[in-house]
A and B are shown apart, each in its own frame.
Chain A
């Protein structure tokens, strides 16, 4: 086992990744603690049923740590992690459709309680979540990375392997369609 990274000062993601590459499990654990909640928000926003968000986030981390050699710093670690989360969610959707369980779209709408009891904001949120499911995957991910995670187009483009201009166009199309759904 490699020497654990000293934790006296908050280590950067890059330092934690390097430590994990050398076998430091504590570095991996710290990366999980640091990015688990944003990842869970992204997965839930992208259509993961709430009951599966935890498992999907775990799977995303495991997949990311195993393929960390492919992370070349083309974007932030969190952005790269979120794109892996998108792939994990896509695979989950395929498995779910094969098992003929509740489709993602319906699962998103499956909230507890009477819809009339929810506040107006919650209803709008649900509409948005349902609307996101009707977007192409790329548009949905660009929208979430931009609007939910607050990332710049350069960062999004680096993570998704596209250009900032194309990312901007995807975002624009997503917003236009979502506005029609949410209004």
Chain B
């Protein structure tokens, strides 16, 4: 392969002639003056400042977006899907609730059931006859069903 390419003197000599006419037309003195003038008109410092500035802006945007994504994942309470069902909370401190408060909680269950299903059981009227202990048992039973 090497011998092949080294021996191809014809192609190389042809290549050496490529562009010689264009090069002959170049006025190097004039070009040197024009290059120096352009360098004066647009100083290097301006160019070198702008490019890192854009890089910094882009990096800041990426970091902010990344932080936003991370924040949305580490704060599940802010996400709608993570909002707990009331039934998960009501039975935590059933012993601390009075009979009236327990009826209110059961009434809120009625609201939830009536919004989720077409058949609405008329159960709230029966709660009035229950004492606090019976209401707690009903609530615990409901939690177990959930």
Known contacts A44-B22, A125-B17; is-contact A29 B33 (Cβ 8 Å): yes
**Min C-beta distance of B71 to chain A, whole Å:** 39
Q: How far is the CA of A171 from the CA of B35 in the complex (A)?
A: 33
Is the C-beta of A36 less than 8 angstroms from some C-beta in chain B?
yes
A107-154 interface (Cβ within 8 A of B): 121, 124-125, 128-129, 132, 143-144, 147-148, 150
**Min C-beta distance of B34 to chain A, whole Å:** 6
Which of chain B's residues has its CB closest to A38's CB? B23
Question: Which among A4-12, A61-69, A93-101, A156-164 touches the partner chain?
Answer: A61-69
Of B4, B26, B36, B40, which contacts A36 at CB under 8 A? B26
Residues of A within 8 A of B31 (CB): 32, 36, 54, 57-58, 61
Known contacts A43-B22, A148-B16; is-contact A32 B32 (Cβ 8 Å): yes
Count of interface residues, chain A, beta-carbon cutoff 8 Å: 43
**Min C-beta distance of A120 to chain B, whole Å:** 11
Of B11, B16, B40, which contacts A178 at CB under 8 A? B11
Is the C-beta of B21 less than 8 angstroms from some C-beta in chain A?
yes
Residues of B within 8 A of A175 (CB): 4-5, 8, 11
Do the beta carbons of B5 and A62 come within 8 Å of each other?
no
**A-side binding surface: helix, strand, loop or mixed?**
helix
Interface residues of A (CB under 8 A from B): 25, 28-30, 32-33, 36-38, 40-45, 48, 50, 53-54, 57-58, 61-62, 65-66, 121, 124-125, 128-129, 132, 143-144, 147-148, 150, 168, 171-172, 175, 178-179, 182
Interface residues of B (CB under 8 A from A): 1-2, 4-5, 8, 11-12, 14-29, 31-36, 38-40, 42, 44, 47-48
Of B22, B34, B39, which contacts A40 at CB under 8 A? B22
Residues of B within 8 A of A66 (CB): 39, 44, 47-48
Known contacts A178-B11, A179-B11, A182-B14; is-contact A58 B22 (Cβ 8 Å): no
**Min C-beta distance of B48 to chain A, whole Å:** 8
Q: How far is the CA of A54 from the CA of B2 in the complex (A)?
A: 36
Of B5, B11, B24, B35, which contacts A128 at CB under 8 A? B11
